[in-house]
Amino acid sequence: MFMGVVDALNASLDNIIFPMGQEEILRTKEDFLRVANFPNVVGAIDGTLIPIMGMTGDDEHVFVCRKGFHAINMQGIVTADLRFTNIVCKYGGATHDAYILANSSIPEIMDQLPGGGWLLGDSGYPLRPWLMTPFLTPQAGQQEKYNASHIKTRNCVERAFGVLKSRFRCLHKTGGALAYTPSKCVRIIECCCRLHNRAIEDRIPAPATGQVPIFSDNDTFNAETIVNANAVNTRNIIVRRF
């Protein structure tokens, strides 16, 4: 009965949609620009760990995250007003954020985005022409200012995770974790994200987030292994505006 309600909500709430129309893309960029003056941003991306009850079996290792508990690693992309425009919640907690991104639809979407645009991700992601990451060792001046603007703007996704988990404590250890099979857990997570978006649309006040730590995979991507010259050049051009 419970999962029937979850599936019905997922089917009826068609509200996790990446901006693709020119007017919607422009509005998204303008909203992000007002956060910290970072231009051309269409989304902030990150991963968050959703605890699930301990499991056994041949696939158990896939769900044990680096922090030592069983989890789903959910990738989320949000707008400046904390709405989810894309989620991927089918991978276990041991999966790196960069792997989830590379095996999602996002690279293709960003390559074909009308007018172009950038996602903002932390150092757990590789620098790409459409994905701007911070400098690991910024030089004083413009690079530091770039990082400050990047961090403040990208913080939207961390805030979104905090509000999501505060609305639905089943997505956090304070709520006891999800006591279902991984396949059912991902359907529940999706449902919570859709209800979160609906709450924003209906202007339902967000609960306090102070007591909800946001677990994520903070392992730094080894940027030295893959250097994308176009991405480096794009980031250097952005830096000049700061």
Q: Report the pLDDT value the prediction gives residue 219, as an integer from 0 to 100.
A: 61
User: CA 196 to CA 157: how far, in whole Å?
Assistant: 13
Tell me the torsion sign for CA atoms 169, 172, 174, 175: positive
pLDDT the model gives residue 12 = 95
Query: Which pLDDT does position 235 carry in this prediction?
Result: 95
Tokens matching residue 14? 């068609």
Place 211 in a pLDDT band, splitting at 50, 70 and 90.
low
CA distance 123 to 108: 21
pTM as predicted: 0.93
220 or 237: whose pLDDT is higher? 237
Question: What average pLDDT does the chain have?
Answer: 91
Q: Is the pLDDT at 121 greater than 80, yes or no?
A: yes
Per-residue confidence (pLDDT) for residue 57, from 0 to 100: 79
Q: Tell me what the mean pLDDT of segment 109-134 comes to.
A: 95
Mean pLDDT, residues 1-5: 86
CA geometry: angle 120, 30, 110, nearest 5 deg: 45
pLDDT band at 206 (very low <50, low <70, confident <90, very high): confident
- Look at residue 223 in the predicted model and tell me its pLDDT: 47
- For residue range 47-99, list pLDDT tens digits in order: 999 999 877 778 888 999 888 899 999 999 999 999 999 999 999 999 999 99
